[in-house]
Structure 1
């Protein structure tokens, strides 16, 4: 089964989704939310595509490779935005995003 073959990637996707959701929520609590707008937007984009790819892999979708390519691009963009901010939640998110982007590129 595809989900067993990709167990490590599924966990990486799940972790990235959770980390992006945490960053999204924490950014909304920051004093200057306007400054965090792009980070918040990309956190949502990244969490959504990671969750979708996780589901696609689990159901053995024929589009996994294409979705993984898109997921890698979104994760990379989110990681680059998050690393611009000094907040711990942004730095943790950047690391999770870069790890996920690399894992996605490996199956794309």
Structure 2
């Protein structure tokens, strides 16, 4: 695992968490009951991305496991957000997909 790779993944995890929080707040403001899954996934994803960044920062021996789970959660959040046309949902879906890819790559290197 290279230091630039870890820094990139941490940055994308933090960016994803920020995008998820922005999306959740915007969706809550819409007061649309159909956005419940989006809001819940946004909040879960934001929390897990921050957790993942902290595991990476401290070189936890569980980085591969946490990165794999983070990628799965980010993908689920991206899939949900991509269903909605609003800019904040589309931005969140994009950030989630970038984070998922970085986590998969880092997790694979951590296992090697």
Q: Same fold (TM over 0.5)?
A: yes
TM class, shorter-length = over 0.9
In structure 2, what is the Cα distance between the partners aligned to 1:98 and 1:7? 17
RMSD: 1.3
In structure 2, what is the Cα distance between the partners aligned to 1:5 and 1:102? 12
Instruction: Give me the TM-score of the superposition, normalised by structure 2.
Output: 0.90
Q: Which runs of 4+ in 1 moved over 4 A?
A: 2-5
In structure 2, what is the Cα distance between the partners aligned to 1:56 and 1:85? 31
Q: Report the counterpart of residue 12 of structure 1 in structure 2.
A: 12
Q: Report the counterpart of residue 59 of structure 1 in structure 2.
A: 58
In structure 1, what is the Cα distance between the partners aligned to 2:88 and 2:79? 14
Query: Which consecutive unaligned segments of at least 5 residues does structure 1 have?
Result: none
Alignment partner of 2:30: what SS? Answer: coil
In structure 2, what is the Cα distance between the partners aligned to 1:31 and 1:17? 22
Query: Which consecutive unaligned segments of at least 5 residues does structure 2 have?
Result: 108-112
Tell me, yes or no, if the aligned pair for 1:3 and 1:58 is still in contact at 8 Å: no
Instruction: Give me the TM-score of the superposition, normalised by structure 1.
Output: 0.93
Q: Report the counterpart of residue 110 of structure 2 in structure 1.
A: none
